[in-house]
Structure 1
């Protein structure tokens, strides 16, 4: 899995992470087919290096079959990004359908490498409809999931879908559990200010975050898994998006949560080692509080 693909189908290419993926592929000289939801994104994704652009629904088999032609890898990002982006039925059904359609098309076209966007929210806490507790820290992929919302449930279903295609068709599929993602000059800056003012607002996310550029790198790294099969990994910046030390944050906001070890300084309380072992991924961009 060490060789780069020749062409990658990128679904959800018009979104924040999708555009960063297109820029990364262009930098590496890799052909990109951008699947966008709206034709209004056409010029923007073309300017980022996508030499083929298709507009349509990632949940439509005919659209995906047309877009996937000549690709030898898939980065799947298309989804409604929260349980509030439509009705609960729309969020669950559209997100899970798109993942199935994209991986099914990949399998039928003989593609054996795919990276799909899962989410830290799969654990259930960020959009919980009832009080939930983090099982333990550092959080890892073995922790019990507690979905009470359609978005978390859809992401869990996506991971199981990836597992099926890996087992049935011999694909390598990596589900990347992404945390809060943003760029330092806009969305991430606003979140940093919010959590500095109110640390409790980041408790359900364990104050985790990832720069958009690193999110793109993680999705691309998912195409180069060291082992075959289906895998789930958490990725995040190595530090918390808070000026406070991690142990102080945990003492204040997760006092009853089992702590397998202490966390020096502002170390994020998530196990990032599996992503480094499997994908060679480590975040390169961290938030600076000296602005």
Structure 2
């Protein structure tokens, strides 16, 4: 039985990740500063390399979710330091201890549209992994560095599989009603990421597939639903938000998500299953 260490497993996404792993027969240990009713939890500070070595020892794979999740509650230098240093420590300990299967929680924030100090537009739609990463804020920059760390450790040990999952806005099923009301009341509320999202269950499955498929080397992939949170066509919303890109692919239209997840299907066999219409219809 594979023993998986989940960091940040007590958080919004982490709870779903642990549940999915347990449902698929994995042994799971959680690392967090808060308790979990799902799995044994070590209370550890991952910015301390010694503690990180201690919790990684004996594990077969790591799903690293622990981070300050947005830049609005801590000074920017704290957000940057905690997120980057914890990731370095996890990868350093994994490399030294021979834990060669790692999934990292990256973010659509690497693109720079969320939390931007100065407005920017996408260069093209849909957005795939070749689009420039334009983050200006401490959180988005910390995720860009997270990915560079992943690339570096994959160069150090080519046998490692390091997948950076660029999650869109993660929504647990119980949050849909409130989020949809907020988005529909004012379409500009969710213009910060062009109305993209991903169901927490799809995010959890992406984490599991990343450690199951474990392609060698480093890979960054977008993880998002097929559609947006809105009822209007995506291009109409972008025009309203004055965020139209210079180039739009001929096939892009309707309520399609701005994020192209084709690469996720190629690398780990992941495709989104849930949309807000499916979830709301099942409530």
Query: In the superposition, relative to structure 1, how do residues 226 and 18 fare at CA in structure 2: closer, same or farther (>3 Å)?
Result: closer
For residues 186-265 of structure 1, what are the structure 2 equivalents within 5 Å? 186=175, 188-225=176-213, 227-253=215-241, 254-265=243-254
For residues 1-291 of structure 1, what are the structure 2 equivalents within 5 Å? 6-38=2-34, 41=35, 45=36, 47-48=37-38, 50=39, 52-170=40-158, 171-186=160-175, 188-225=176-213, 227-253=215-241, 254-288=243-277
Deviation at 1:145, TM superposition (A): 1.4
Contact 2:235 2:244 in 1 (8 A): no
Contact 1:138 1:260 in 2 (8 A): yes
Query: In the superposition, relative to structure 1, how do residues 172 and 256 fare at CA in structure 2: closer, same or farther (>3 Å)?
Result: closer
Query: In the superposition, relative to structure 1, how do residues 72 and 256 fare at CA in structure 2: closer, same or farther (>3 Å)?
Result: closer
Deviation at 1:57, TM superposition (A): 1.1
Deviation at 1:200, TM superposition (A): 1.9
Partners of 1:111 and 1:128 lie apart in 2 by 36
Partners of 2:58 and 2:184 lie apart in 1 by 47
Unaligned runs of 5+ in 2: none
Q: Secondary structure at the residue paired with 2:42?
A: strand
Number of equivalenced pairs: 278
- Report which stretch shifted further, 261-270 or 21-30: 261-270
Contact 1:183 1:189 in 2 (8 A): no
Contact 1:8 1:33 in 2 (8 A): yes
- Report which stretch shifted further, 131-140 or 247-256: 247-256
Contact 2:170 2:200 in 1 (8 A): yes
Deviation at 1:256, TM superposition (A): 4.5
- Report which stretch shifted further, 188-197 or 104-113: 188-197
Normalising to structure 2: TM-score of the pair? Answer: 0.93
- Report which stretch shifted further, 193-202 or 274-283: 193-202
Partners of 1:202 and 1:33 lie apart in 2 by 34
Q: Secondary structure at the residue paired with 1:185?
A: helix
Partners of 2:202 and 2:12 lie apart in 1 by 12
Normalising to structure 1: TM-score of the pair? Answer: 0.91
Deviation at 1:268, TM superposition (A): 1.0
Deviation at 1:240, TM superposition (A): 0.8
Partners of 2:205 and 2:142 lie apart in 1 by 23
Contact 2:101 2:214 in 1 (8 A): no
* Root-mean-square deviation (Å): 1.6
Contact 1:246 1:263 in 2 (8 A): no
Contact 2:215 2:268 in 1 (8 A): no
Contact 1:8 1:75 in 2 (8 A): yes
Q: Secondary structure at the residue paired with 1:269?
A: coil
